[in-house]
């Protein structure tokens, strides 16, 4: 290849590498604001899409809604800052953009602080795939209540779980497999609260748990015993007025 042909090729190569390295995965969604242009960070959006290779992730307040989207080159994202804001919008180019943007516009900070990696990682290729299905990397959340992973086929699907979904996600994860893992009896799904949950998931699912250390937790994250007690006890708040009268009538009959 001649010298005058090499230079354009190198420029194209390095620019392509820069796009891949600097690309971000962003969560795109819309959520109603509560008051004073703030959102309730404890309520997560029901529908989210995850475009990849964004220059930055932008959040803005517009027409009574909090909106986030993938930015491909606005002036707001022309910065080296991890979070750059003006009076009603912010661009995030850091590691935890989903949580950073929500925290900035939240009426109150999130009480949860567990860090989780959200991705689908294959055992054969050992390459992470994002929730967007076409991305080449994972992303992180740092306001999770707990990390959850499931093993499907030859891949680990890991995600961040908020406090409101902790009970339903981890109720049947009663087996203390090792380190900070509590798993279902078939070991296909595990819950973890630690600073290196992803490594523990991979030790179990990719290495059959051979390199897992002893368990550092003494009980499951959600106790099934409490669930059984709650379900067995009658909840009088669920009775209607008519049902209460019927119950009182039969109780009086038994006492006669």
Same domain for 198 and 97: no
Is the residue at 256 inside a domain? no
Range of the domain at 7: 3-104
10-residue mean pLDDT series, the chain (256 residues): 42 32 78 84 83 91 91 89 91 89 84 84 66 56 93 93 92 96 96 95 94 95 61 45 57 57
Number of domains in the chain: 2
**Confidence at residue 128, expressed as pLDDT on a 0 to 100 scale:** 58
Q: What is the pTM of this model?
A: 0.65
The conformational region for residue 134 under phi > 0 = left, psi -120 to 50 = alpha, else beta, is alpha
Which single residue is written with the structure tokens 């959200």? 118
Residue-level pLDDT at 242: 55
Which of residues 104, 137, 156 is at a domain's end?
104
- Does a structural domain hold residue 129? yes
Looking at residue 229, its pLDDT comes to 42
Residues 215 and 154 in one domain: yes
**Pairing relation of β-strands 189-192 and 83-85?**
unpaired
For residues 30 and 83, state if they share a domain.
Answer: yes
Taking the C-alpha atoms of residue 144 and residue 142, their distance in angstroms, rounded to an integer, is 6
Is residue 245 domain-resident?
A: no
């Amino acid at each position: 290849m001649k010298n005058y042909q090499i230079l354009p090729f190198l420029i194209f190569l390095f620019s392509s590498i820069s796009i891949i390295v600097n690309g971000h995965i962003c969560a795109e969604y819309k959520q109603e604001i509560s008051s004073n242009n703030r959102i309730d960070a404890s309520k997560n959006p029901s529908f989210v899409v995850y475009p990849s290779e964004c220059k930055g992730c932008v959040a803005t307040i517009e027409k009574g809604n909090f909106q986030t989207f993938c930015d491909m080159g606005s002036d707001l994202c022309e910065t080296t800052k991890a979070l750059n804001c003006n009076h009603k919008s912010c661009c995030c180019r850091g590691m935890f953009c989903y949580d950073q943007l929500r925290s900035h516009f939240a009426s109150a900070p999130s009480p949860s602080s567990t860090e989780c990696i959200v991705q689908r990682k294959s055992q054969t290729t050992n390459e992470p795939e994002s929730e967007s299905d076409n991305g080449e990397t994972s992303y992180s959340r740092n306001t999770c209540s707990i990390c959850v992973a499931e093993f499907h086929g030859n891949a680990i699907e890991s995600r961040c779980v908020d406090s409101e979904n902790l009970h339903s996600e981890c109720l049947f994860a009663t087996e203390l497999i090792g380190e900070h893992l509590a798993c279902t009896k078939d070991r296909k799904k595990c819950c973890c609260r630690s600073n290196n949950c992803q490594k523990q998931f991979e030790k179990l699912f990719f290495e059959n748990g051979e390199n897992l250390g002893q368990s550092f937790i003494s009980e499951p994250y959600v106790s099934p015993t409490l669930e059984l007690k709650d379900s067995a006890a009658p909840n009088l708040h669920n009775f209607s007025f008519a049902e209460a009268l019927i119950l009182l009538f039969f109780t009086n009959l038994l006492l006669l």
